[in-house]
Chain A
Amino acid sequence: MAELRIVVDHQKIEYEGPFDLKDLVTMIQRFMFERGFDRKLEKDFESDTKTGKEVEWQVANWKKVSDYAKYIFRIRMLVHDYVKVDAEKDKKKVKVGSGRIIIFFDGLLELDYFHKWDSRPFLVFLRSLYDKFIFKFYTERFEQRLTYDMTHLINEVEKIFNLHRHYRVVKITSDHAH
């Protein structure tokens, strides 16, 4: 088994009110695309109910940063009671979506994704030593960059919802790492 580190663990955003689901999904996809992530759509479920639409959408976009480390951004979105409501924008009537949304963000760092160091227990031991002591600086750097990207994405999502934010550039691995 390759080593899978949870760097960002289940960061959650909950919101209830008007928002455009299509815009949100497009924004997340664009963000990933611009940063060279490959797309892996895991779930795309939608059902019409009496109270509105229920949507479950999950992606696990990934990017190989070196021949040893790989980023995985897992985003899970649950939308409840999503309906289109009338709103006024620039003195014009427009339809906007409204509902309740919960988004979970997970940032994972996969090391040794080619499984070169996991055929024997001794090699796994060597890999641990290598990660923790020899290659430590680089491993931490990967974690930091992953956290940075994830924080940036979370900030962008908060912008869409117009929430209060406190975004600042990540200098070191943040508190929610590990």
Chain B
Amino acid sequence: MKPLKPEEFSMMVNPYYTMFIKYKGVWDMQDLYESMADFFRNQKFKFYETINWHKSPSPFGARRRYEWEAIKNVEEYYRFELDIRFETHDVHDVEIKTKDGSKKTFTKGRIWVQIRGRVLTDYGKNWEDSSFYAQLRNFYHKYVIQKKIEGDWQDTIYYNVMNPLHNLIQQRLKMETEEYEHREFTGAR
């Protein structure tokens, strides 16, 4: 078992499962990029692009890396944070003829997406003025609201944010395993 970091031990940072997608084929990069950004806008997240990195093309194609950070304060005491990282490798543009005869530029290559989500408690650090307050907060996390964090907020971020986002990416990439059976669970339409 991995040792916990101090902020994880005190349950100030509660990470959830990391999700991955790997895809090799043809996709519409502009559409994917916009859809993902729109998703965060619709969910009312504060959204930052921390890295937009482009490496000049090698003989196999260009390599790009994007790192996004999305933050939403769900309550005075709880905050959702998401780290999205996606990399494209060996990509080059290809022209595709659509059914109506028009031409569209798509991207061909490999893409790797990583979605990491966590629930932050006491994000304003209101309980860090003294060591006594910090201990009190740790006690509160460990014995009073532990189930609420794990069963309520972590599930909310996983099923209401990370899963729909994952499904959206699958849809945009037109993946075969595109399914989302837990949508009823989340109340999503």
CB distance from B171 to the nearest CB of A (A): 12
Cβ B26 vs Cβ A55 within 8 A: no
Cβ A82 vs Cβ B185 within 8 A: no
CB distance from B91 to the nearest CB of A (A): 14
Query: Is A91 part of the binding interface, using a Cβ–Cβ cutoff of 8 Å?
Result: no
From B1, B22, B25, contact of A44 by CB (8 A): B22
Cβ B22 vs Cβ A40 within 8 A: no
Query: Is B121 part of the binding interface, using a Cβ–Cβ cutoff of 8 Å?
Result: no
Residue count of chain A within 8 Å CB distance of chain B: 26
CB-nearest residue of chain A to B163: A39
Which residues in chain B, 21-50, are within 8 Å of chain A measured between CB atoms? Answer: 21-26
Query: Is A141 part of the binding interface, using a Cβ–Cβ cutoff of 8 Å?
Result: no
CB-nearest residue of chain B to A82: B176
CB-nearest residue of chain A to B155: A38
CA distance A1 to B2 in the complex (A): 11
From B170, B173, B179, contact of A26 by CB (8 A): B179
Query: Is B145 part of the binding interface, using a Cβ–Cβ cutoff of 8 Å?
Result: no
From A22, A33, A47, A57, contact of B25 by CB (8 A): A47
Cβ A41 vs Cβ B23 within 8 A: no
Q: A21-B177, A39-B163, A82-B176 are in contact. Are A1 and B1 (CB under 8 A)?
A: yes
CB-nearest residue of chain A to B25: A48
Query: Is A25 part of the binding interface, using a Cβ–Cβ cutoff of 8 Å?
Result: yes
CB-nearest residue of chain B to A115: B1
CA distance A177 to B90 in the complex (A): 46
Cβ A57 vs Cβ B177 within 8 A: yes
- Chain B residues with CB under 8 Å of chain A are 1, 17, 19-26, 110, 155, 159, 163, 166, 170, 173, 175-182, 184-185
- Chain A residues with CB under 8 Å of chain B are 1, 21-22, 25-26, 29-30, 32-33, 38-41, 43-48, 53, 55, 57, 79, 82, 97, 115
A-B contact pairs, 29 of them (CB 8 A): A1-B1, A21-B176, A22-B176, A22-B177, A25-B176, A26-B179, A29-B180, A29-B181, A29-B182, A30-B181, A33-B181, A33-B182, A33-B184, A38-B155, A39-B159, A41-B17, A41-B166, A44-B19, A44-B22, A45-B20, A45-B22, A46-B175, A47-B22, A47-B23, A47-B24, A53-B176, A57-B177, A82-B176, A97-B176
Kindly list the 6 A-B residue pairs having the minimum CB-CB distance in the complex, ordered from nearest. Answer: A47-B24, A29-B181, A48-B25, A45-B22, A25-B179, A26-B179
